[in-house]
Homo-oligomer: A and B are copies of this chain.
């Protein structure tokens, strides 16, 4: 477990710098890149830290697997627990809940600072980690857990620490943005765009965590916790993915001068009973002129609205080995300096303890796409239903469905003898619960043959 890599021990400054023992947990894409950068930039990092990083071990599950040239085989160990107890600084890149959580807690108990990119763990059980860091007086840093290389955690918890963040709205999942962007550019279906994303390495073989919005929701919970000084867990985040977004939705959005993006939104919600907060993830239509609309491929971007600062936007690569490693190393340098100079950095706090607003109490503007009977009075009845529930229509677009004009042989067309039509409606802001009630009515009335889509409209 001693340092086998002479380059890391060499001290070109001749200053006899102190050394920090670093343990790396996990040697996947990000771990390998972190090790590569520590080796390549050893002298630079030493100057910036005022001390040298000595990698004392890399914990992996399988010693036999080839890790490439940047991972010294002599550093590999399967005994992660023994490793973290010897470290001054632990870089956790294994992902998942266990054993990552136990190892992080063990590391902090032994006085090590921890840098992690583990958004799933932070979203599910961040409170345990924050409290342990506080109790043991060590730094817990996780810039890489949200939006990859984009500095976001540090700006939110430090740069804006004297301000009041009202709202954050962003694209924080590259896979889904790649898919939606490809659908918009090429007219591809969701399935085809997903297949392409998988071929190109933008989506995993099991894309569930991305396309169902879970990854974006985990990040939303971390951002909401930081921004509002409250505990927001993954389970508190309303989450809808993009699997039901159709190429028809994308085309309809374009006709309306809008673009569909998977948004993570966290915001303060004023109310009579005091201020509450909301954290939610869903695909939404935004104006094509909105800066988030031009975020293409797998890029990420986040808008922040703060009381004094006004509007801020951060843009960059949200995933990938090198960008994530950049964020990890920024945390490593900062934590290492803190460690050598004494003291710890800013802490999470949850003093505000703001409550979450249930989705049904929020107000949104909607786009609703319906298949209806094509006969007189249908529009009036639909408009009446919306109106009865306090929902005001902004625009309405009707189109005869050509493939329903001449029903295929043997298929019993709904509303026989009348044909069917498509109606696209956009509404002004209305209560979510009102829209739910309207959709219930639509599902039980014979004039509505089907509800194809319900999407929210944001950023206007």
Spell out A's residues near B (CB within 8 Å): 13, 33, 37, 41, 44-45, 47-48, 50, 143, 149-151, 154-155, 158-164, 229, 291, 294, 306-317, 320, 322-323, 325-334, 337-338, 341-347, 349, 351-352
Contact = CB atoms under 8 A, between A and B. Distances in A.
B308 A149 contact: yes
A147 to B, nearest CB: 10
A155 B316 CA distance: 13
16 contacts: A41-B162, A44-B229, A47-B351, A149-B309, A151-B155, A159-B330, A160-B326, A161-B334, A310-B317, A310-B320, A310-B322, A312-B316, A314-B314, A338-B343, A341-B344, A342-B343
A229 B41 CA distance: 14
Given A151-B155, A154-B154, 16 more contacts: A13-B351, A37-B162, A48-B346, A151-B154, A151-B159, A155-B155, A162-B333, A291-B294, A308-B326, A309-B316, A309-B326, A311-B317, A312-B317, A313-B316, A334-B346, A345-B345
Contact of A162 (B45, B158, B317): B45
A308 B37 contact: yes
A337 B346 contact: yes
The 4 A-B residue pairs whose C-beta atoms are closest, nearest first, are A343-B343, A162-B329, A151-B159, A149-B309
Contacts of A332: 162
Give this chain's copy count: 2
Nearest to A312: B316
Contacts of A155: 151, 154-155
A351 B48 CA distance: 8
Contact of A161 (B229, B329, B344, B347): B329
A48 to B, nearest CB: 5
Nearest to A339: B343
Contacts of A143: 159
Given A44-B164, A343-B341, A311 B316 contact: yes
A240 B136 CA distance: 53
B41 A164 contact: yes
A282 to B, nearest CB: 24
B309 A323 contact: yes
A286 to B, nearest CB: 16
Given A41-B162, A229-B48, A330-B163, A151 B312 contact: yes
A83 B56 CA distance: 49
A14 to B, nearest CB: 12
Contacts of A326: 160, 162-163, 306-309
Question: Interface centre among A155, A291, A352, by most B CB within 10 Å?
Answer: A155
A125 B334 CA distance: 25
A346 B50 CA distance: 10
Nearest to A149: B309
Contacts of A48: 161-162, 229, 346, 349
Nearest to A316: B312
A424 B336 CA distance: 54
Nearest to A154: B159
Contacts of A50: 347
Contacts of A334: 158, 161, 346
B149 A330 contact: no
A158 B13 CA distance: 22
B33 A312 contact: no
A309 B314 contact: no
Nearest to A159: B151
Nearest to A50: B347
Contacts of A162: 37, 41, 45, 48, 325-326, 328-333
A327 B159 CA distance: 6
A317 B311 CA distance: 7
Contacts of A344: 341, 343
Contacts of A47: 229, 349, 351-352
B313 A315 contact: yes
Contacts of A309: 149, 316-317, 322-323, 326-327
Contacts of A13: 351
Contacts of A314: 312-315
